[in-house]
A = this chain, B = another copy of it.
Amino acid sequence: MIKMCSRLVATSLRLHAAPSSLLLCQQSRLVSTRRVPSEETLAALKTLLGNRLSTASSVLEQHGTDESYHAVAPPDAVAFVQSTMEVSEVVKICAAAHTPVIPFGAGSSLEGHISATEGGVSIDLTGMNEILSVEPENMSCKVQAGVTREQLNVDLRATGLMFPVDPGANATLGGMISTNASGTTTVRYGNMKNNVMSLTAVMADGRVIKTGSKTRKSSAGYDLTRMLIGSEGTLGIVTEAELRLFGVPEAEKTMICQFDSIQNAVDTCATVMQMGIPVARMELMDENAVDAINKYSKLDTPVRPSLIIEHHGSPGEVEEQSSVVVEIANDFEAKDIELATGLEERKKLWSGRHAAWYATLNQMPGSRGLCTDVAVPFAKLTNVIVETQADLMKSGLFGAIVGHVGDGNFHVMLPFLQDDAKLMQKVRDFSDRLVNRALECEGTCTGEHGIGNGKMSYLSKEHRDGVEVMHMIKKALDPKDIMNPGKIFYGDKKH
């Protein structure tokens, strides 16, 4: 039905800095076609944006690079947009020529979401960084997609409110919406799906829609808000969002508990959850993670499997909750429990945990890393983590485990040198085994990072017939396949 009039098959793919075996594998599955924008398309974009359209090679390179191990795949041009209407115009120009558009925020994604695997135009939303309104009495705010979570929380300080979702990286809120980000605080405050009330998005034909409403709940028709959250720019480009805010807790109390075995650490966490003790964060770190963080962040935490647990509430509530957790941890033979109540002390602890990714890469200078992201049913968490640690040891790989264990979600961070194809293969094999372990117990291949172009085969395995239904939606809303193509689904759409 749709005439793919301007598709160009490029013989020389601009993919950099990845071992050739990996590249070959990616080329054959993912990058079958390139759709380079025509001179006319670039001229129309230039007329619209002036010098906010860039084709400088360093800019292209940067916009084809995220934090992942995936090959750099630069776009053919970058559009630095400043408004929803500009995004709409860019999409209309590109749609007319079947040119792909790839939204770009902080570039902190971990599965190649921003790669221009078929070429096209990267739409950089970082210039749309205005906090449009804050309504303390409604406990909500409206932001442009390029606002980062740290920028928002700094801005909110005077109001006594905060936006709670915290994926670690200082991502843009648009990016966090695209991957359905979550993180350390999700056990208490939920993920992006729980904290976005309404979106403004530009669809594949350039039309602008507003989803949801400025209310806590609605049953008005299909939930386009939650359909767009986690759709990784493949259905629409989110330009604005209405977010839920929470009061900064009156009191916060953080503790770090060390254990002799990772089993006791995870069992402590499972018991806390099953007893329904409210926790605001509950993070696991294995010995390797603690060691890497110590070295990178100049801390001296004893090198043992550890849990960092935080409570938010009134002074009375956090005291009561933390004393129950201390009892539970002691039941599981906690070796050491240290409380951090002062702001600076707590900040130091969390900045260490937040730097875990860089700390782990730092253990192997010059490395990039693969970061697994499975989540499993709560009841299976201890077994899966213990088996995974055993697998790690058996395979002789260096990896560090950190996890949002209150959500059943944990990461194994595996650094490798990109010219070491053998190590890379070992890392991928380990990751395969871990995903299979998670899927066997009805878990998911990704708790919060998304599919991107790194987990497409896992998505097929996880959702089977469901992926076909997802693809029917994709085809209906983006018949020209211009919205971030080559993500979530294979280019040839075979699953």
Listed in ascending order, the chain A residues whose CB lies under 8 Å from chain B are 135-140, 179-182, 186, 190-191, 193-194, 198, 203, 207-211, 213-224, 226-227, 229-231, 235, 246-247, 249, 270, 273-276, 278, 313-314, 316-317, 320, 373, 375-380, 407-409, 441-451, 455, 458-459, 462-470, 472-477, 488
Contact = CB atoms under 8 A, between A and B. Distances in A.
A377 B142 CA distance: 13
A379 B466 contact: no
Contacts of A137: 270, 274, 378-379
A312 B138 CA distance: 24
Contacts of A477: 469, 472-473
A432 to B, nearest CB: 16
A247 B226 CA distance: 27
B469 A224 contact: yes
Given A207-B465, A220-B444, A470-B224, A138 B379 contact: yes
Contact of A226 (B226, B246, B467): B226
Given A211-B466, A226-B226, A379-B138, A220 B274 contact: no
Contacts of A219: 179-181, 230, 373, 444, 446-451
Contacts of A448: 217, 219
Contacts of A278: 313
A222 B218 contact: no
A190 to B, nearest CB: 8
A462 B320 CA distance: 45
Nearest to A194: B194
Nearest to A452: B219
B375 A217 contact: yes
Nearest to A223: B226
Given A140-B378, A209-B466, A217-B448, 6 more contacts: A218-B375, A219-B373, A219-B446, A223-B223, A278-B313, A314-B320
A247 B223 contact: no
10 contacts: A139-B274, A198-B442, A215-B442, A217-B375, A217-B447, A219-B448, A219-B449, A222-B227, A224-B466, A224-B470
Contacts of A209: 463-466, 469
A98 to B, nearest CB: 19
Contacts of A408: 215-216
Nearest to A203: B469
A165 to B, nearest CB: 11
Given A139-B378, A317-B317, A186 B466 contact: no
A276 B160 CA distance: 11
Given A219-B447, A221-B488, A447-B218, A466 B210 contact: yes
A448 B219 CA distance: 5
Contacts of A194: 190, 194
A227 to B, nearest CB: 6
Contacts of A215: 375-377, 407-409, 442-444, 447
Nearest to A234: B222
Contacts of A409: 215-217
Contact of A214 (B138, B443, B451, B463): B443
B216 A375 contact: yes
B138 A220 contact: no
Contacts of A230: 219, 221-223
A222 B217 contact: no
A-B pairs with lowest CB-CB distance, top 8: A476-B476, A214-B442, A247-B276, A218-B444, A138-B379, A137-B379, A226-B226, A215-B375
Nearest to A380: B138
A316 to B, nearest CB: 5
